[in-house]
Amino acid sequence: MVSAAQRKYILFLLFMVSVFNYVDRTILSILQIPIKKELGLTDAQLGMLTGLAFAIFYAVLGVPIGRLADYWQRRRLVAGALTVWTGFTALTGIAASFASLLGFRIGVAVGEAGSIPASHSIISDLYPPDRRATAIAIFGLSLPVGILLGYSSAGWLVTNIGWREAFFVIGLAGLIVVPFMWFAKEPKRGTFDPVEVAKAPAPSTAEALKILWSKRAYRWLVLAGGFHAWAWYSVNSWNAMFYVRVHQVPLPTVSYYLALVNGIGSAIGIYAGARLADYFGTRDVRGRPRVIAISQLIMVPIAIVQYLVPSHVVSMVLGAITMTMMLVYYGPIVAVAHQMMPANIRGFTSGVLTLVVSLIGLGLGPLVTGFLSDKFTAAYGVQGLGYAISVTVCASLVSAFMFWRSSVHLPNEVLNKEPVKEAELPKEPVV
């Protein structure tokens, strides 16, 4: 039995692992400016490094590693993954060409692929369905914290010691958490599932895929996540370049602005989105995906104005609103997916979700935006990057429609029977 104190401790460790995930991923979006200058890279190549090349390995390997998380000790899988990606982040500091940069980023992707599915599976066995979106959101606060630390530390490090040394310092720092994660307690699988579901043996991969495909709400959910991630990853990858190139804001200023916007704004969006989703979702199961859809319909027009308005001050204010609204989806999407699936395939469920979201969002978003930027810049000058990002964020309109469609099918596809009750489940808030 996992005690209340252990529950919080494990969630904190997963949070810290994920912080380093986003720190390691974020620093490239800041450091790409001096890297581009030193190595002579194009926008399309930068889009490849921050997008498709990373996403293919991160997404594809997430499925088999997610499947492994349904059988093996998840805490040690997370610890091993952290060791791999932080090591490759440090090695990025010795890159001398686009090819070597690409190889090291692939190594980071291979390591990070092992973290998210196993972490989601652990959290779903720590907290019941009515508290799960909030718990996942608390874990998800690692995203704004990691981005805040990534932007602020990368901006300071590149100014004071250089971009290569920045990769060394940030990469090696993540190794501190590895032993704590390795020896953490493993929660019992299926704690909050119906008895017959919790005791059922894990299905084969083919059977697990059949279960996932049978859920129409899940199919719409993962596609919706992919299209929204297309917009989010593009914005996150190109914001620094946009303000430096289009508005001539100094890089250190941009670095600290993005640190605050992503740290504070994203944190508000993630936590508020999860609380709203759990509030409306406990009254109507369709509430969780509908909270996401409504937030995206509000966000898109604000984002378009952000990238077209001539004033950098107005743009930055709107950017804070955009980033807050963009991260509303983080907790609810995983909570809804796991609410439909038994514990013995939840790692696999998150792996498939990560596959689709990463290939569509991380893989294509930054890359296509880079190609559009090259074309629009040739035709319209420096404002071409703003036009490219404005086109990209419209993918969230498609996503809003898909999240709403998922909500329509959801009532018939959740695990309907009463879950197992854990007698010692603490009643205090997860925070």
pLDDT tens digits along 68-82 = 777 788 888 999 989
Cα–Cα distances in Å, from 46 out to 85, 99, 145?
20, 12, 24
Q: Does any domain span residue 428?
A: no
Q: For the domain that residue 139 is a member of, what is the CATH number?
A: 1.20.1250.20
The answer on pLDDT for 129 being more than 80 is no
- State the chain's maximal CA–CA distance in angstroms: 66
Cβ atoms of residues 177 and 16 within 8 Å: yes
CB-based contacts of 406, cutoff 8 Å, min separation 6: 216, 217, 218, 220, 221, 224, 289, 336
Structure tokens at 302: 């604000």
Question: What is the number of alpha carbons within 13 Å of residue 308 lying toward its C-beta?
Answer: 11
Question: What is residue 400's predicted lDDT score, i.e. its pLDDT?
Answer: 97
**In the predicted model, what is the mean pLDDT of residues 179-191?**
83
Q: Does any domain span residue 141?
A: yes
Neighbours of 196 (CB within 10 A): 9
Q: Which residues span the domain enclosing 365?
A: 4-184+194-412
More confident residue, 429 or 233: 233
CA-to-CA distance for 231 and 219, rounded, in angstroms? 19
Question: What is residue 421's predicted lDDT score, i.e. its pLDDT?
Answer: 44
Q: Does any domain span residue 315?
A: yes
Question: What is the number of alpha carbons within 13 Å of residue 394 lying toward its C-beta?
Answer: 6
More confident residue, 45 or 268: 268
Q: Does any domain span residue 426?
A: no
The tally of domains found in the chain comes to 1
Nearest Cα to 55, choosing from 223, 222, 196, 226?
A: 226
Q: What's the predicted TM-score (pTM) here?
A: 0.74
pLDDT tens, position by position, 286-334: 999 999 999 999 999 999 999 999 999 999 999 999 999 999 998 899 8
**In the predicted model, what is the mean pLDDT of residues 157-164?**
79
Q: Does any domain span residue 419?
A: no
Q: Does any domain span residue 377?
A: yes
Q: Does any domain span residue 418?
A: no
The answer on pLDDT for 12 being more than 80 is yes
Split at pLDDT 50, 70, 90, the class of 199 is low
Percentage helix, strand, coil for the chain under 3-state DSSP, each rounded to 5: 85, 0, 15
Of all residues in the chain, what percent carry a pLDDT higher than 90? 29
The answer on pLDDT for 198 being more than 60 is no
More confident residue, 292 or 28: 292
CA-to-CA distance for 252 and 245, rounded, in angstroms? 13
The answer on pLDDT for 122 being more than 80 is yes
Split at pLDDT 50, 70, 90, the class of 231 is very high
Cα–Cα distances in Å, from 64 out to 17, 209, 427?
20, 12, 36
The answer on pLDDT for 389 being more than 70 is yes
Split at pLDDT 50, 70, 90, the class of 51 is low
Question: What is residue 221's predicted lDDT score, i.e. its pLDDT?
Answer: 95
**In the predicted model, what is the mean pLDDT of residues 44-73?**
75
Question: What is residue 174's predicted lDDT score, i.e. its pLDDT?
Answer: 85
Q: Does any domain span residue 400?
A: yes
